[in-house]
Each structure stands twice: as C-alpha cells, then as structure tokens.
Chain A
Amino acid sequence: MIKVLKAGFYTTIQDKGRFGFANIGVPISGAMDAYAMDLANAILNNNLNCAVLELNFSNCKFQFLETTTICISGADFSPKINDTLVKQNTRIAIHKNDVLTFGKINYGARTYIAVLGGLASEVKLKSRSMFKCITKMKKIEDGTILHFKQKMESPELSYASIKVHKNYFDEGLLNCCKGPEFNLLTALQKEQLFAEKYTISNDMNRMGYRLNESLQNNLSSIITSSALPGTVQLTPSGKLIVLMKDCQVTGGYPRILQLKESALNILAQKTVGCKIQFSL
C-alpha cells in the first residue's frame, strides 16, 4: 500500500485507457506520455496494461506501507527516497515506511511511478484511468491509500538502468500527419502553420493544450465529427488546440493536423511557455 501524504497537482492513476466506449461519449484517457509509462512497466517486467501513477510537477509525497519494487520514468523531478536521490528508469527497492518525495524539476512535465505487479484500483469500463463521473475519484487526494495487485516479501533488485535520450525532452518538433480538413487550408496558411513556433498557453490540461499564436482563419466549423488525442483543431479565432488523452470524442472545429503518437508523447512532457513546431 501507498499512503499519499501530498497528492500534488492533479496526480492520477492511468493505464492504456478506455477503448470501446466512444459510442456513449467516453474519452480514451490513459497516460499522457505512453512511452514513459511503458518504459516504467517494462523495466519492472510488468504487463504493459498495468496501472501507474501520473504526476504533474514535483509537489508530491508518498509513504510506502509495505515492501515493493518501483520504477520512475518520464520527467525528472529529482526523486528521493528518505531524502536520498534515486535514479530513474531502473528498479528501486522499497521497504516498509520508505518516503518518496520529489524536488527540483530538471526536465519534462510528467513523471510516472510504476510498482511491481501494478496498482490495484477500481476498474471502470475496462480501465483504471481516472476520469470524472467514471471513476469514484477524478484525481488522487491527500490521504488516499493506494493498493498493489501483488504482495512481495523482499524487493526485486537490479542495478541495470536504461538511458533515455534527453533530446526526447528537449525536442520541439512534432511529427504530424495531415488532418481530415488539412486540404481546406490555403497554401499560405499551410506555410504559416509549419513556419510558426507555437507557444503552449496556460490553458492546458489532460483534455488539450491551447496554443498562443494564431493562424489566419476563414474556415467555418464542420458538421460535428470525431476527434482523437493528437488532433490539432483550428478554432474560429485562429487559435490552435491540440487535443490530449482526456479529449471529448467528437468536435466541430476543423481538424487540420494529427500528431503521430511519438509526437503526442513528446508534447505530454511540455508545459506552459514551451515552444513547439509542427512538421509533416
């Protein structure tokens, strides 16, 4: 078990997400940086469907109430066990009453904590990913007790670690496919779209990132159609919105680009003020 001493800003349980329920309007959800989650689970030899904790920024504190092994991947928030810095992307032995804290933000925006065997929270519509009206809690609160699927007598150690290229966090170039309405753009709009360096505004969350700069726009809305995580919508004001994992399943704004999954993971590690550029 883990006792959450400080939940921080919008910490949630996430897994691969909720598929097959778009017909009742249920978003996909799931880890924003699926690559980092997969890495943490793989290092523990977990099934990749195991649920993990997703943390935004470093103001979190957890106390482990039993022995386990964990792995931390994604953003680097200087994780410490009992005030000693620990490495990421490797197995970390956890003993009863160990306290995990985070400090200085070195890079990235979201970090993932996987436990051996996975977290054991409620499964709703085939997923543990937290979402309002679907799971009892939409996010982790102070004092929450988290359970594990697997009991361990002693931690499973390994000193090997995986090196993640830091350019994954520095990269601002997002590889895209053409969106369904891309061809409605003029040659000039297309040129501007790929030349501009867009800044992530402070209107950003698990549903979507709104970008600051505008694109000249005279396109009207479309008849409401599907929207997917990674869809770049062009709003009537010319502002762009990149939809993220908790996005609604349908929308009425033209869908001009679709981020590749690798680009969606890169974007998930960016925060307010970061610059991005689209590339086909």
Chain B
Amino acid sequence: MPIKITYKLYGEKAILIEWQKEISTKISEDILMFASKIETKKDINIVDVIAAYNSLTIIFKDNILDFEKEIHQLKTIYNSTVKTFKKENFIWEIPVCYDLQFGIDLQEMEKKSGLSISEIVKLHSEKLYRVYFIGFLPGFLYLGGLNKQLFFDRKANPRLKVAKGAIAIGGNQTGVYPTETAGGWNIIGNSPVDFFDISKENPCFAKPGDFINFKAISLLEYQHIKNSIYKKTYTLSKYPVK
C-alpha cells in the first residue's frame, strides 16, 4: 500500500502529520526518517517533535501564522533527499524475573487462557519487540510484536500502584512501567533495569527503531543484577541490528 500523508493544524503552535491508520514497521520507519530530516533543519523554529505509531506532531516556538506555507516547507523537507545521520539501532537484552512474586497476574492468566505459566513466559520472552516510540511516561516504550496468544484484556479495575519495572500486557500490547504508577495492565514479571535514569546523560537507553528482547532470569539473578545496578557496575547487553 502506498504511503499517504495528511497535514492538520493542531492548536495555535502545532502541526499534526498523519499516515494511514495502521501500525506497521514501514510507516514507523517513514515517520522516523521524516523526524530525522526535520532535525537537520536548524533554521526552522521547532521546539519539539512527538512521534507515534502513525503520526508526527511538530511543535513550533511561535504561533503558526501561515499554515499553507509551513505545510509546503514540511513537504519539501519530506521529499528532500538530504543525507541524515543514520542512527545505529540496537537489540537490547532486558532481564526479566517472571517469578510469581513479581508476576502477580500470571496465575489468573493461566486460568483464563489455558496456557501454562511456563508457556506464557516462553511466548513472551522468545519474541523481538520493536520500539515504535516513547510516551505515556518518561521512558515508557511502545512495543510492537506481541504474540496473538498473549493478548489479554486490561484489568477491569486498574491498580492504584504498579511497581517500578513491572512487565505487563494490556490488550495487544506489552510494556515496562519505568516508574511506580497506577495501571490496568496484567503484570507478568519485573525487570531490575532502569528505563529512565535522569542521572545519565541519555536518561532513556532505547530509542524508536531499536528492539527489545526479554530474557527470563531467576530471583537470585534478579537480586544480583539489582545490586550491580545500585553499585553502577551493571551494563545492559546490546547487539547491533543487522
């Protein structure tokens, strides 16, 4: 299907660029390419860019006076063949402890689905998940690629407190809560890794276009990794995307 793009004014200072309503790697890559072309244009007054599954929102510093002119400029950037600095993408190996101590919804999910807990863990940790974008909370990755057998409806009553690092499934999505928050997803495990660490120059290690691979670890390994993160001696494993 050819890519189709529309432009909408979004308030006084933003333009919403939308692709057709579908979630696909092809569209996501087109969005990220457009965003990186915009990044090279230092002469336009843009303060922020929000990428999502099928949209890119451009926030200008000042009120938009001439919408047609801005669209024309954006279209020119989109169609330009400017060489952008190709960011290297990585596969991040994220340790996850699926022990029942953390995976507090696993038993209920086992009952509902007929899958055993070890099958749920296997299906969840064998896939590569693509990072589409980061939103909702600082460091919350929107991941694509969840196995259909693991689609579970969100809980009817959201929990007021979900632990930092909780690995969860909500509908057709899976994700990691980067901080303690309220949440309605089914919790299947916990990762000791910090998904948002303001003390680092780059607070969020992952970026759109990267991949996440969850690796099952024992409670003992979890404690060990937690300790080395605390001592700042832990390094995440990553592999370049071929």
Do A248 and B11 have beta carbons less than 8 Å apart? Answer: no
Secondary structure class of chain B's binding surface, majority of residues? loop
**Chain A residues with a Cβ closer than 8 Å to the other chain, count:** 34
* Stretch with Cβ within 8 A of A (4 or more), from B75-83, B89-97, B128-136, B184-192: B128-136
Known: A22-B135, A223-B53. 14 other contacts (CB 8 A): A19-B59, A22-B50, A24-B138, A25-B135, A25-B137, A25-B196, A125-B203, A177-B12, A180-B16, A223-B55, A226-B14, A226-B50, A226-B55, A251-B136
- Are A24 and B50 touching (Cβ within 8 A)? no
Chain B residues positioned under 8 Å from A25 (CB to CB): 134-140, 178, 196, 204
Contacts of A27 in B (CB 8 A): 138
- How many residues does chain B have at the interface if contact means C-beta atoms less than 8 Å apart? 39
Contact B11 A250 (CB under 8 A): no
Query: How far does the Cβ of B172 sit from chain A's closest Cβ, in whole Å?
Result: 12
Interface residues of A (CB under 8 A from B): 19-28, 124-125, 132-134, 177, 179-180, 223-226, 228, 230-231, 248-251, 255, 258-261
25 contacts between A and B (CB under 8 A): A21-B48, A23-B133, A24-B134, A24-B138, A24-B196, A24-B204, A25-B135, A25-B140, A25-B196, A124-B198, A133-B179, A133-B198, A177-B10, A180-B16, A224-B142, A225-B53, A225-B55, A226-B52, A226-B57, A228-B10, A250-B133, A251-B136, A258-B12, A259-B11, A260-B11
Q: A250-B50, A250-B133 are in contact. Are A23 and B208 (CB under 8 A)?
A: yes
Q: Is the CB of B47 within 8 A of A20?
A: yes
**Residues of B bordering A, CB below 8 Å:** 8-14, 16, 18, 21, 23, 47-55, 57, 59, 133-140, 142, 178-179, 196, 198, 203-204, 207-208
Q: Which residues of B contact A225 (CB under 8 A)?
A: 16, 18, 52-55, 57
State whether A260 touches B52 (Cβ < 8 A): no
Q: Is B21's CB under 8 angstroms from A248's CB?
A: no
Q: Which residue of A lies closest to B56 (CB)?
A: A226
Contact between chains at B11 and A177 (CB < 8 Å): yes
Main secondary structure of the interface of A (DSSP, over half): loop
> Which residues on A sit within 8 Å (CB–CB) of B135?
22, 25, 224, 248-250
